[in-house]
Amino acid sequence: MIDNFYIIGVSEAPQEAPVIAEVVPDPDNAYPNYEYVEQMELTRVTTLSDNLDPVTGPAGAVVDTTPSECWTPVIGQKDQLFTFEVRPIMA
């Protein structure tokens, strides 16, 4: 008689990253020396949704826990397009 057995580890299910809706109008307008704040609308909310880290974006941009992107453009950034990309911070 042959005994077959498997060792299986059990862990937490992986969490999916939140999905952020497109900004309308696209592109949105920002003005030099005025703070730009855009509340991000999440189309898929997860437990990670309040822990976002900017991956790409203009210098000085931050993403807070509401989640909103905040940024004050400077004159040198005038007439340029910027893309904000964020990722979840894994605890």
32-83 pLDDT, tens digit per residue, is 999 988 887 777 766 554 567 777 888 888 877 677 888 899 999 999 988 8
Yes or no: say if 34 and 68 are a contact pair by the CB < 8 Å rule. no
Residue 50's domain comprises 19-88
Binning pLDDT at 50, 70 and 90, where does residue 15 land?
low
With tokens 């992986």, the residue in question is 14
More confident position, 50 or 27? 27
Answer whether residue 77 is part of any domain: yes
Tokens (6 digits) for 81 = 């397009």
Residue 56 located in a structural domain? yes
Let me know if residue 3 belongs to a domain.
no
Q: 3-state SS string over 30-74?
A: CCCCCCEEEECCEEECCCCCCCEEEEECCCCCEECCCCEEEECCC
Number of domains observed in the structure of the chain: 1
The answer to the question of residue 76 being in a domain is yes
Per-residue pLDDT band at 84 (split at 50, 70, 90)? confident
